[in-house]
């Protein structure tokens, strides 16, 4: 969305709060800065038009929710919300593939796995879902998306994870390039947005490699599986 976005006649559903876990804090800060810019532009435009927004929590200094998931010496954790979320529209953000996050277990350093991140997400939801107006989950890499179907006696982990979030009270789930978008059939009555950033990937690739030639002699498409295609340069071969 452009920074010169101008507020229209439709009001937000509730005051916005971004609940970012440690795994995705840098991205959440960029999202917060972007929202601050275009909402500040809205406020200035409404003042110029001698109009009034009359909406609580629309123009604030930050939309980031103060929260944390501290751990006990045993490795177990809890979610702590350090400010009120009553009536807020919560967007919980998590990166389940961030292996750089660590915690101590019995004196040893342990790197967080996708399972650890998902458990922290559930703790965060459990701490705020009772008073929040709505809870949404932003998960750039969909948890357990590689296990989207079973071929023998296997678990359907992605479907179970989605249903677990919905049963906890999550209204919408937002992800990017799910391994198989059909997993949304596990929660057909709830919001599931799967954005395909294919253009952004290709654009970044071409901007980084200026010598890349896009013709049939220098470029081919490799399909790792039925879940997606991957562009690959074979220049010089």
Burial bucket for residue 124 (CB in 10 Å: 0-12, 13-18, 19+): buried
Query: For 47-61, 181-195, 219-233, which range has the lowest pLDDT when averaged over its residues?
Result: 219-233
Whole-number Å distance between alpha carbons of 2 and 179: 29
Total-model pTM:
0.80
Q: Helix, strand or coil for residue 150? A: coil
Task: Report yes or no: 19 and 128 within 8 Å, Cβ to Cβ.
Answer: yes
- Other Cβ atoms within 10 Å of 235 Cβ, number: 11
Structure tokens at 82: 């350090």
Burial bucket for residue 170 (CB in 10 Å: 0-12, 13-18, 19+): buried
The whole-number pLDDT of residue 163 equals 95
pLDDT single digits (tens) 111-131: 999 999 999 999 999 999 999
Residue 74 has pLDDT above 60, yes or no: yes
Residue 228 banded pLDDT, cuts 50, 70, 90 = low
The whole-number pLDDT of residue 237 equals 39
Whole-number Å distance between alpha carbons of 126 and 190: 18
Task: Report yes or no: 35 and 63 within 8 Å, Cβ to Cβ.
Answer: yes
The whole-number pLDDT of residue 236 equals 39
């Amino acid at each position: 969305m452009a920074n010169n976005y101008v507020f229209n006649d439709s009001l937000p559903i509730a005051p916005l709060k971004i609940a970012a876990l440690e795994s995705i804090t840098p991205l959440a800060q960029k999202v917060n800065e972007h929202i601050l810019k275009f909402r500040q532009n809205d406020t200035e435009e409404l003042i110029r038009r001698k109009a009034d927004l009359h909406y609580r929590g629309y123009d604030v200094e930050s939309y980031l929710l103060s929260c944390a998931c501290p751990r006990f010496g045993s490795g177990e954790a809890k979610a702590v919300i350090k400010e009120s979320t009553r009536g807020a529209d919560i967007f919980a953000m998590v990166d389940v593939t961030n292996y750089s996050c660590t915690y101590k277990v019995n004196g040893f350093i342990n790197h967080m796995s996708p399972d650890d991140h998902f458990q922290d997400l559930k703790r965060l939801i459990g701490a705020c879902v009772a008073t929040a107006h709505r809870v949404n989950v932003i998960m750039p890499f969909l948890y357990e998306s590689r296990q989207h179907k079973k071929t023998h006696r296997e678990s359907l982990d992605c479907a179970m994870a989605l249903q677990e979030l919905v049963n906890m009270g999550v209204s919408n789930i937002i992800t990017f390039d799910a391994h198989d978008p059909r997993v949304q059939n596990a929660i057909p009555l709830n919001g599931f947005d799967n954005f395909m950033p294919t253009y952004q990937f290709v654009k970044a690739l071409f901007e980084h490699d200026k010598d890349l030639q896009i013709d049939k002699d220098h470029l081919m498409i490799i399909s790792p599986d039925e879940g997606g295609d991957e562009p690959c340069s074979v220049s010089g071969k």
